[in-house]
Amino acid sequence: MKMDAGIGPGIGPSRKPLDPWLTPLSVVRGLNWPGVVSPEIAPVTALLFQFERTQWWRAEDLLDHQFMQIDGLLEHARSYCPFHAERLQAAGYRIGDEVTPESFRQLPVMTRRDLQTRLADIKARELPAGHGRTSLSQTSGSTGEPVHIGTTELCQLFLNAFTIRDHIWHQRDLTAKFCAIRPTIDIMPDTDRGPAMHWRGIMGLLYPTGENAGLSIKASIPEQADWLAKEDPEYLVILPSALKAVTEYLRREGRTLPRLRRIQTVSESLPDGLRDLCREVYGAEITDVYSSQEFGMIATQCPEHEHYHVQSEGVLVEVLRDDGTPCAPGEVGRLVVTSLNNFFTPLIRYQINDYAVLGDACPCGRGLPVLARILGRERNMLVLPDGRRKWPFTGYRGYREIAPIRQFQMVQETLDLVRLRLVVDQPLTADQRGRLTALVQQELGHPFSIEIEEVSGEIARQPTGKFEEFVSRVVG
């Protein structure tokens, strides 16, 4: 049967679908329901059909299928990627070996330095059929080590499917207005891109959706607040640091976003207290996503709890102690990630330089592994003078009870000195400086020397658009 190229007329204003999630856009004119999706979209729906079932598998069954996929990935990497052939040979891997979690951990981790210096040998000389076109992109370089990553159309297919799964999990209203403030939207307030008549990306191609608008994170906080008030979104995608700043600004101004239902945070670790702040100002909940440019979506928040489920159909995530052994639930560990579908630039046991807390099995019944909390990069860890490291609680409301502080950032300059950078509405008094010093020392758990720096305007973001409340220059 030959299908028409155009999308059908859809359901008229007098007839609304009972469940928009079961009423995709149809490519057959006149056939509004059940919808027949285009050949380009069909692979996504096929993955979603599988995801609906695999999420409920037992953890051990998911792991078994992941290693079934890793068997093929390693054989491909051994045959077509000189870098991986060397690593696999050194680890004693032989053709036909059945890989286990224990034997897999014998393979040394990959690093960003490997991608920088050995990319030509990491990229596959050949690709199996079905992976589609390839492309290269550069990571943000927020660690100071930008790298190039090769990807394929198949990788994008999985990212699209995981994006839709996240929408389904959280049962977002497809007819609602969706707005985004992100670094990837290079548009300023006087030339903002929206609203468009449908959500952008895969959602607008597959489903009838509501309006969408976007703004660059380069806009100032007052500009972001005014833009949000004008657009009046029901859903908002935004970086946690920008959300915190604009929410505090709106609270000081006595304003809110009356239609805002849910906020999705991306790209940065979620700071303490931000969920409570958004409940107070908007009456809205946050759903957080953990992703990276190297892997796409790694984990997304459970629809019933505040922890995260690893997207096991696309990645294998290990949470490891410093000695390389697996963490137990409740332990903080280094994340090592393997992409199960990137055969162009295989990332096998790649050290992503993030830390997380491994979680217990989820009461929701999904077998997908749980990350209780995403903590961030090693450079966000405080180093005590005796060499111990810990994740600092940098506070957030206590500062404003002492002084009119609009923005702050802590920078550990040495083992003994922490610089507290502040944007204030008026100069600090000696008493306020003393109280802030005592509070920071209490929060950090050590009597560091505290150097307070008053910054005019705003504390600049990284070129990537990200912002870190705590950075240690002691960590290499």
Note the helical H segments in 200-358.
202-206, 221-231, 240-253, 274-282
Per-residue model confidence (pLDDT) at position 395: 55
Confidence class for position 217, pLDDT limits 50, 70, 90: confident
Q: For the stretch 417-437, what's the b/e string if a residue is b when 16 or more beta carbons lie within 10 angstroms of its beta carbon?
A: ebbbebbbeeebeeebbebbb
Distance of alpha carbon 238 from the chain centroid: 11
Per-residue model confidence (pLDDT) at position 393: 64
Residue type, 290: Y
Q: What is the mean pLDDT of residues 157-170?
A: 95
Give the integer Cα–Cα distance in Å for 372 and 358.
6
Q: Taking the CA of residue 341 as centre, how many other CA atoms within 13 Å lie in the half-sphere pointing to its CB?
A: 23
Residue 71, helix vs strand vs coil: helix
pLDDT reading at 2 higher than 50: no
Q: What is the DSSP secondary structure assignment for residue 7, as one 8-state letter?
A: P
Threshold 0.85, pTM exceeds: no
Residue of 28 and 334 predicted with greater confidence:
334
Q: Kind and range of the H or E element at 158? A: helix 153-169
Q: Which of 57-66, 363-372, 409-418 is least confident?
A: 409-418
Q: What is the mean pLDDT of residues 448-474?
A: 78
pLDDT reading at 10 higher than 70: no
Per-residue model confidence (pLDDT) at position 309: 98
Residue pLDDT, tens place only, 73-103: 999 999 999 999 999 999 888 877 889 999 9
Backbone angles phi, psi at 154, to 5 degrees: -65, -40
Q: What is the mean pLDDT of residues 228-256?
A: 92
Residue of 309 and 352 predicted with greater confidence:
309
Q: Which residues contact 155 (CB under 8 A, 6 or more apart)?
A: 296, 339, 341, 342, 344
Give the integer Cα–Cα distance in Å for 159 and 280.
33
Q: Taking the CA of residue 429 as centre, how many other CA atoms within 13 Å lie in the half-sphere pointing to its CB?
A: 6
Q: How far is CA 14 from CA 10, 344, 351, in A?
A: 11, 49, 54
Give the integer Cα–Cα distance in Å for 345 and 150.
5
| Residues 382-472, CATH architecture | 2-Layer Sandwich (3.30)
Give the integer Cα–Cα distance in Å for 409 and 459.
8
